[in-house]
Structure 1
Amino acid sequence: MKKHYFRSAVAALLPLLLIAQPVEACTGFIIGKKLTADGSTLVGRTEDLEPNHNKNFVVRERVYNKKGAIFEDAANGFQYPLPEISYKYTAVPDVTPDQGIFDEAGFNEYGVSISATVSASANDKIQKVDPYVKDGLAESGLTSIVLPSVKTAREGVELIAKIVEEKGAAEGNIVTIADKEGVWYMEILSGHQYAAILFPEDRFAVFPNTFFLGHVDQSDTERTIASKDLEKVAKEANSYKEVDGKFHVSQSYNPPLQEADRSRVWSGIKSLDPSSPVKYDDASFDLLHTTDRKLTLRDAMNLQRNRLEGTKYKPQDQMELDGKGIPKKGEFDAVYKYPISNPNVMEAHIFQLKDDVPASAGGGTMWLSMGSPRNAPYLPYYGNILNTYQAYQELGDHYNDRSWYWTISRINDLVAKYPDLFEDGAIRTEMERLESQWMVEQDLSDQEQIALASQPEEASKKATEESLARAEKTFERLQEIRKEAEQKVADEHGKSALQDLDDEEDAAYEEKIDLVDFDYDYILAAGLFGATLLAIVIYLIRSKKQKGGKQDD
């Protein structure tokens, strides 16, 4: 996930860091229905950026747009005509629309689901030939454009392809779009290049922030959608690569594999298939994998909560607690690695798609963990709900105990800062117990939705009532857990410890830099100016030393 602000700690180095720093954000996965115990398809993603970043869960109503109405992305100025009708859909947006909507994930009224996006980026050679377009399609507006505009997943892929061809992409992204016909996996590779495949039902994939597509059969137009110049651009960029005599997309378009991507793809594959032959130091990782195991929704939840358990590695965010110092971004460490479940996860979602659940209900369930799922529950939601619980709709960038996100954020912060007080894992155990209960209840709800397929209004009413009641009861319990955790910390470390936590959260908020006000051309110019100034200083120092040396002689 890309956002337009960074910490003030890097403000002075911003011109140089903007290009050099790798993005460590989001991990996606797909599990085909032939690999699951119940025959459902599982698709999901963790949305990562930073701690203390509020998210909402809302229903966006169907809208009849005025002729000539235009969608504009406040994040980068991207514009696109709105359709005559914008279909109803659910979304998980940011609370700062002036910096981009970032609707991220949801169902629309036709049973199309989307998760967008996992950020990725083409290598420098590719970007010189087909650069990203400053006001092109970006993650910030992608879901808001696609989900209310399409009736099928394929239409969604085709719409993205059309936009990328005509207006360009502002960044590289990986998108999953699904419906009753299956799941499409799409990579937006460079300014105008893309490739998408209909994901095989007998495979699984784990994909952090790098491209994974291998050979793409563009002659198979039923299962593949790709830009016509996909190979041509790679050849012009002199980054064209073949594997087994065939053009390989990711090896042609990717930069070198980052350590944070390596740790997540490897641990993700091993989480779903412990017997997989993949090794941590493999040169590259394939997109498609298989396993003899029958995977479940619980396996998917465990994947998103994975913190390198059962391996010789430790989570990178544990370094400071272990007295090993603060981890440095991009720096290699032999023991501490970047896990899928990291402090930057703001929400996690899993689509459980079933053949017999009506498309009008979403064709399945979105299991949503608002806030990091490390100590938070996944709750099930159909696509036909009419409203969401108020705690999901609380706005604001500061801690608010009426907010679902901020309540979970506080619980996670307490557990992370005082692990010795919560080492029994009681909170996580309770979350999993609730989830197991809801899984049973959801199977019964599926049957109700199937029975009400011919009465969509009644089905929506039923789904809404059930989800609101569950959310209300759960939020009440989460508030109790938060208060119990705060009391435990206060008893052990004093009430000042809670005030310290408040101060840290406020300080983190104040340190955010809003890059929406920056012009990237000016940033680049500043970087070049800084580099030139540095070169002049070095030249003057060397000249002075040389003069001094001659005088000594």
Structure 2
Amino acid sequence: MRKFIWAAGALGLAAAFTATPVKACTTVVDGKKATTDGSTLVARNEDVGAWSKHFYVHQATSNGPTTYVSEDNGFKTSLPKTALRYTSMPDGEQVNGQWIFGENGVIFSDKNEIWYMEIGSGHTWAAVRVPDNKYAVIPNQMVIGKLNLKDSKNYMASTNLVKKVKAWSQNKKIKLAGYVKSTVNYSKAFGTNDKTDAIYNRPRMWDGQRILTPSKKQSITKKSYTLFLKPEKKVSPAKVGQVLSSHFTGTKYSSYGKWKGGYRPINVPTDVESHILQIRNNVPKEYAAIQWLAMARRLTASACLSTPTSVTRQARTRLIPSPPTGLTKPRPW
């Protein structure tokens, strides 16, 4: 899984790191030895405000080639004539020169491993392999730290990244941080860690780690948190769902209580959908991948363990969730 398709259409999950909460999300990843059944788990809340979320089923097609154009930034690329689902990441190859726009996190996963990639700009990126026995809770903030690029099994980066960061760090007009003794700290070089992050981002890492590793006592005001931690107990999709539904639940920081500090929780009213991607090792590969999808806030969603008739009647179905209730004060998301 050390080869990737960086171009549009790659099997993966993307989340934006934005200075404003227009596209704000929380991501959770769990290595296969950190889960109850040996699955890899990749999960995310999608927070975009007033947006009617649709769920579509796209059948396989041989009508290509087709040109894909991103509605977000105008990125354009050609799609293959025959469109089928990808079975695993080694099927792809690394393609330099085609990029997602800057300040994004992208996750690539198969049944064996997970890689987390951050894009600092249109010309730089770094990726780290998620340890099999650990997890990460990722807010809208770059979190990849020091890169050990000699360890190619666990780290990758764009061409000449160290050379570029060194030059930018020595440029008096740029003065880029993150370069020390031939080593790049990617988040220090291309990310932020300011007062906004102290309210909006870091508390979400604190909350997720509080739930999955409760024995690790930490302050919600810490300036940085360890990216990968071992969970106290093996993690199930339901446990990940608990993280995605948390509003600092059971603490004095709860946004449904006194909301001390006004910290931004993981679960907010602007969640338009919440998903958990589970790739299993204990079943045939033909149906190893599962998506657990809540078409609304994870906190207010209930389990649907069978497919409703209304969904099976047509390939494209619009699901309209009920509006969230129980809000007692305005939330500035």
Q: Secondary structure at the match of 1:251?
A: helix
Cα distance in structure 1, aligned partners of 2:180 and 2:248: 31
Moved more, 296-305 or 333-342: 333-342
The answer for unaligned runs of 5 or more in structure 2 is: 1-14, 169-173
TM-superposed CA distance for 1:300, in Å, is 0.8
Q: Secondary structure at the match of 1:368?
A: strand
**Is the CA contact 2:278–2:291 (under 8 Å) kept in the aligned structure 1?**
yes
Please give the residue correspondences for 1:80-229 in structure 2 after superposition, counting only pairs within 5 Å.
80-87=77-84, 108=85, 110=87, 152-154=88-90, 158-159=93-94, 162=95, 165-229=96-160
Which AA in structure 2 matches 1:177? Answer: F
From 187, 194, 207, give the equivalent of 1:267.
207
Cα distance in structure 2, aligned partners of 1:374 and 1:302: 8
Which AA in structure 2 matches 1:368? Answer: L
Cα distance in structure 2, aligned partners of 1:154 and 1:263: 36
Change (3 A) 1:82 1:65: farther
In angstroms, what is the RMSD of aligned CA positions? Answer: 3.2
**Is the CA contact 2:58–2:315 (under 8 Å) kept in the aligned structure 1?**
no
Q: Secondary structure at the match of 1:64?
A: coil
Residue by residue, what CA displacement relative to the aligned partner does 1:16-39 show, whole Å, maximum 9, x if unpaired? xxx964556110011222222333
**Is the CA contact 2:32–2:113 (under 8 Å) kept in the aligned structure 1?**
no
Please give the residue correspondences for 1:27-66 in structure 2 after superposition, counting only pairs within 5 Å.
27-51=26-50, 53-66=51-64
Change (3 A) 1:23 1:54: closer
**Is the CA contact 1:57–1:388 (under 8 Å) kept in the aligned structure 2?**
no
Residue by residue, what CA displacement relative to the aligned partner does 1:476-534 show, whole Å, maximum 9, x if unpaired? xxxxxxxxxxxxxxxxxxxxxxxxxxxxxxxxxxxxxxxxxxxxxxxxxxxxxxxxxxx
**Does residue 297 of structure 2 align to residue 372 of structure 1?**
yes
Q: Secondary structure at the match of 2:206?
A: helix
Matched with 2:71 is 74
TM-superposed CA distance for 1:207, in Å, is 0.1
Higher strand share: 2
Cα distance in structure 1, aligned partners of 2:121 and 2:16: 15
Change (3 A) 1:76 1:297: closer
**Is the CA contact 1:154–1:184 (under 8 Å) kept in the aligned structure 2?**
no
**Is the CA contact 1:31–1:42 (under 8 Å) kept in the aligned structure 2?**
yes
Cα distance in structure 2, aligned partners of 1:55 and 1:288: 31
By relative contact order (CA 8 Å, sep 6+), the higher-ranking structure is 2
**Is the CA contact 2:102–2:122 (under 8 Å) kept in the aligned structure 1?**
yes
Cα distance in structure 1, aligned partners of 2:82 and 2:314: 29
Please give the residue correspondences for 1:514-553 in structure 2 after superposition, counting only pairs within 5 Å.
none
Cα distance in structure 2, aligned partners of 1:311 and 1:254: 29
From 235, 238, 249, give the equivalent of 1:309.
249
Which AA in structure 1 matches 2:301? Answer: A
TM-superposed CA distance for 1:260, in Å, is 0.9
Matched with 2:3 is none
Change (3 A) 1:153 1:167: closer
Change (3 A) 1:359 1:109: farther
**Is the CA contact 2:26–2:139 (under 8 Å) kept in the aligned structure 1?**
yes
Higher helix share: 1
Name the TM-score, length of structure 1 as normaliser. 0.50
Cα distance in structure 2, aligned partners of 1:350 and 1:178: 12
Cα distance in structure 1, aligned partners of 2:322 and 2:314: 13
The answer for unaligned runs of 5 or more in structure 1 is: 4-18, 88-107, 111-151, 323-332, 395-402, 420-553
Change (3 A) 1:183 1:205: same
Which AA in structure 2 matches 1:285? Answer: Y
Change (3 A) 1:154 1:186: farther
The size of the alignment, in residue pairs, is 304
Identity in percent: 28
Greater radius of gyration (CA): 1
Please give the residue correspondences for 1:217-296 in structure 2 after superposition, counting only pairs within 5 Å.
217-235=148-166, 236=168, 237-241=174-178, 246-257=183-194, 258=197, 259-296=199-236
